[in-house]
Structure 1
Amino acid sequence: MSETRSAVPLPELCARMRSFIDDAVIPAEPILVNEDGPAHVAIDELRSRAKELGLWALGHPAELGGGGVPFLDFVHLNEIIGRSEFGQLAVGSVSMQDTLMLHKHGTPEQRQRWIPPLVAGEFLPSVGLTEPDAAGSDPTLIETRADLDGDTWIINGHKWFTTGVKDAGYCSVFARTEPDTAPRHERISAIIVPTDTPGFQIVRSIPTMGHDPSDHYEVRLTDVHVPAANLLGERGKGFAVAQDRLGPGRIFHCMRWLGQAQRAYELMCARANTRYAHGSLLAEKGEVHRYIAESAAQIHAARLMTLDAARAMDAGEDARVRIGLVKFWGARMLHDVVDRAIQIHGALGLTADTPLERMYRQARYARIYDGPDEVHRMSTARRLLRDPEAAPWR
């Protein structure tokens, strides 16, 4: 039996995690990317190994069955986990933001039913927020409806980019429950819908940028009946529920992007030090020097911004400006670093022989999901204009 995780010093935990990700998860990526039977076997084996090594669900609170690693320590671990896009699946951190959301807003019955299997990795969570016929950046436009009939919610709607729903035990569906006379941000509620509920139909895996099948799904809800007790949080307060999930989630994304960017940077340096062209190694060329230096600067800046945002969140401060800044800066950083790495690899960087082409797809996603760059810049600028003192460097 492994020792209590919280008793293990952070440097040792980071070393263990780095070894597991680099020596076990990354070598399994050629199998994992196929998303077929062997991939499921491989991820199950990785999860079992992570549990044996005491690396499972480290960031989940101990009272919920997790490792109880403090939030700021988990920042460093999550960067290492992010070195592989499959890292969070392998070590059980993929359910963390949903577990925290349920813990804060769920009823005792909801917490008892859903949190233990989530933390144990028995199934994944999913969120039904984005819709094909409404701008995802403006959730006040959600068209999915949930009408209360006695003690039953009847839900009808159309969702897409419902990530991971095929392997999820439930979906947190955000639906319009209040009349149009209610304030715009008090018309939406969150409702827990088990994925085996009649009328909950997974239409397809959505092909994205050459990725088919992907883990993003289109879902239709047709006269879906769930108990009134499945309301998550207060009626009409779906935005508060969503923000309590998205806020930490954005920080978690930025942590993992650092891991992806660091790995791309390492691949870029290795390529530059071994590839010979036009009379010298790439590492001896001035333009490549610029690529390396600018990438190192962007990664370092994003790491400091992410740590500062995490520190503010951990201290209970208003971290919205910091999170907004690092969300769009981190997404741009990831895109730029991976793009340079592909350029230095040349034609090889466009193939599936390196992880860079998948990283590039993820980097492009990053500028849209959990709020597009434009919205984060706009909302952050508005806060700073209202209160210039809110700038994080003051």
Structure 2
Amino acid sequence: MSVPSANPQIKGWCPGAHRPMMSGDGLVVRVRPFRAELDRDQTLGLCALAQRFGNGTLDLTSRANLQIRGVAGEDHAALLAELDGLGLIDSDPRVEGHRNILIDPDWRHGDLTDRLYGAVLATLPDLPDLPEKMGIALDAGRGAHLRAGSADFRFEISDEGGLILRADGAARGRPVSEDTAMDALREMAAWFISTGGRDHGRMARHLAQVALPGDWQVIAPCSAAAEFTIGPANGGSILGAAFGKIDAAALSVLMQETGAPALRLMLGRMFWLRGGTAPCLTQEFVHSPDDPILRAHACPGAPYCPQATVATRQIAGRLAAQVSGSLHVSGCAKGCAFPRAADVTLVGREGAFDLVLNGAPWEEPSQGGLTPAQITNLEEVI
């Protein structure tokens, strides 16, 4: 058996439905539900597909998408046909690969956010060939809820209530109207490509090297709103998924027992049951906003990812209560589960862990070569 490299391969793209990614347990097939919402039939259907074609679980990603893991190569075409029948994928693989759209979870049918989403869908085929990790945030609701989400082009609201388009990494944006928003998006995407943005991959990294036009940096977005939290919410309930792992059978039972007509996916690896009765307290989901597991992040790790050299989630679950801030246990230096700085980061390398304090997985560790036994008590290590 080969040992994964200490320098993991960064593919520059994320798995999709048409273009899955091979992992240690089979293909990873990512589903990007339109408007981050699944109705009851779509939810139950997707749960059934995860059990039929995958390993019985769904991964809720950091961008509020869902992944079916463990799919056999010979089953991919049949799975695609089923997903298409549920209305969960694009017919055009190129569009599907670039449909990284974050949407305010409190959107309402016919509101500005909903209308912008439809406009973005119509505009995607016209945009230049952007790096597949790039995304768009539609944070144009009654509060700014997507600041922590990974996006490169951000539609937001100013303190005066006007719509702006802000490049990620810039403090201010350019004023737009609903009628001019898509033209502004096309212009910014074209600028990114023409100024060498593909070499940097993401907008914020590009802006660290290339100056954005001054007239695109004139209005600041409004202050971030209070975050959504687990518990009752607008006639429904918000629940969490530890490390984003959802047991498909348990979710199916949850939808049937609560009678919820729809489910919305959220940042923070949370999901919102829209209506229905209050869910029963079960260990399959996170029911308390104070649960320390919500501050912990971990990828599937070994043996599920071929680039990981360590198991991750069991360790993260054991250590979560020991860290007052954020904890990230990463199978390798890519940091897929939380690609940013955490208060405490443990990075797998050649079967052991490097410790990074107040940093990202790819940054210089303060200690290296720690075994799982050595990190049972973090106070003794930090």
TM-score greater than 0.5 by the shorter chain: no
Report the TM-score when normalising by structure 2: 0.32
- In terms of fraction of residues, the more strand-rich structure is 2
- In terms of fraction of residues, the more helix-rich structure is 1
